Structure 1
Amino acid sequence: MAAHVLAFPWPLQGHINPMLHLASALLDAGLRVTFLHTEHNLRRFTRVPPHHPRLRLVSIPDGLPDHHPRSVGGLMELVESMGTAGSAAYRALLLRMVDSDDDDAVTCVIADGVMPFAVSVAEELGVPALAFRTESACGFLAYLSVPRLLELGETPVPSDEQTNSRFVGAV
């Protein structure tokens, strides 16, 4: 029985695209891959040609109303909704996919690194899981640079004390 991976990206384009590339590479290596979208994104995704002919698509609700923009402006609502409604729907779906009696049961989860709940749920259900960070190399380098910038006193956002001392005489 070949491994069957459930790939679960954070539901925004910058996270979906790298996860799709990883899913394609896994499919090319002979694994079975199911890609988990939110219902909102699956509706959008099915309007374009499939990324890979053997890629299976499933979806869960994200808990947001259809008119919600699901963009940076509504990011906190998406975070909250995915942590509650999305998490519960994911747990139910994964449980069904693991308890499957056929040879198609999910054997591993690869979840976006910004969704720790996805790895925790998989591990609670006894499914091996790992977090895949979908940011670019440039974004990752920025994260790695923060400790050194702080060491040098080059804080990205000035503290209140720094802000106040800069603008005291400016008014």
Structure 2
Amino acid sequence: MSEASGHVLVFPYPFQGHINPMIQLSKRLSKKGLTVTLIIASNNQREPYTSDVYSITVHTIHDGFLSHEHPQTKFNEPQRFINSTTCSLTDFISREKLKINPPKALIYDPFMPFALDVAKELGLYVVAYSTQPWLASLVYYHINEGTYDVPDDRHENPTLASFPAFPLLSQNDLPSFAREKGSYPLLFELVVSQFSNLWRADLILCNTFDQLEPKVNI
């Protein structure tokens, strides 16, 4: 890949397992010459800071919750998170667009589909980056499309699940939300809703691998 220039916004879902892959992507983009702004939705507002090694500046935007509230509240009140973070993200991008080096694109986690709508409305190129393993995203996609039915009770009739380009999978191979209908309803809605507007993204990146690491004999 040749050297690039410009300004990119990166917006991970605010859980560590989603933030880490976005940070690694941000480092790669920075090494190619791009200015990267990493946006974290949080109830703990901090002053922006820039990495000493990479051209990555971290900003926090308000997620609508108070510092003393339990992190689980984000799952219990998802609409509150969506409404507040939508406003915060809109305000932040609008301010960034007035600067000397305005952002041209937003890379976002599809767990927050509202981010795509905000970025499109503000004229940015939008990239969806699925930070979960691609097989998990594939399973959620087929659940959303109605081409895979989550079993009512995974213990009564264990079945094999079939997905395009993958071998048959047992229920133990599947994400927990796909094993039994009605389990973790709020989280289930979160992982399935990521496909509500994904077709509007200009580019979709997935988290996969080329091959397994070789076995090490000790």
Quickly name the TM-score band, shorter chain normalised: 0.7 to 0.9
Answer 1 or 2: higher relative contact order, Cα 8 Å, separation at least 6.
Answer: 1
C-alpha offsets along residues 31-73 of structure 1, whole Å, 9 cap, x if unaligned?
A: 1100001244665xx8xxx5953210111111111112224x7
Q: How many residues align?
A: 152
Q: Name the one with the larger helix percent.
A: 1
Shift of 1:99: 2.3
- Report the equivalent of 1:69: 70
TM (normalized to structure 2)?
0.59
- Report the equivalent of 2:95: 96
Three-state SS of the structure 2 residue aligned to 1:70 is coil
- Report the equivalent of 2:18: 15
- Report the equivalent of 1:167: none
Q: 1:106 aligns with which of 103, 107, 129?
A: 103
2:45 touches 2:62 (CA, 8 Å); kept in 1?
no
CA distance in 2, matches of 1:92, 1:145: 35
TM (normalized to structure 1)?
0.73
Percent of pairs with identical residues: 28
CA distance in 1, matches of 2:117, 2:74: 25
C-alpha offsets along residues 68-108 of structure 1, whole Å, 9 cap, x if unaligned?
A: 2224x75132x3232111110100000111122x1x21111
Seen in structure 2, the aligned counterparts of structure 1 residues 7 and 153 have a Cα distance that, compared at 3 Å, is: same
CA distance in 2, matches of 1:141, 1:120: 22
C-alpha offsets along residues 5-52 of structure 1, whole Å, 9 cap, x if unaligned?
A: 100011111111111111111111211100001244665xx8xxx595
Mark the runs of 5 or more structure 1 residues left unpaired by the alignment: 160-171
Structure having the higher Rg = 1
1:3 touches 1:108 (CA, 8 Å); kept in 2?
no
**CA-atom RMSD, angstroms?**
3.2
1:11 touches 1:41 (CA, 8 Å); kept in 2?
no
Seen in structure 2, the aligned counterparts of structure 1 residues 97 and 117 have a Cα distance that, compared at 3 Å, is: same
Three-state SS of the structure 1 residue aligned to 2:131 is coil
State the one-letter code of the partner of 1:29.
Answer: K
Q: 1:156 aligns with which of 175, 179, 190?
A: 179
State the one-letter code of the partner of 1:87.
Answer: T
CA distance in 2, matches of 1:59, 1:144: 30
C-alpha offsets along residues 96-140 of structure 1, whole Å, 9 cap, x if unaligned?
A: 11122x1x2111101111111111111101111121111124533
Task: Determine whether 1:126 maps to 2:123.
Answer: yes
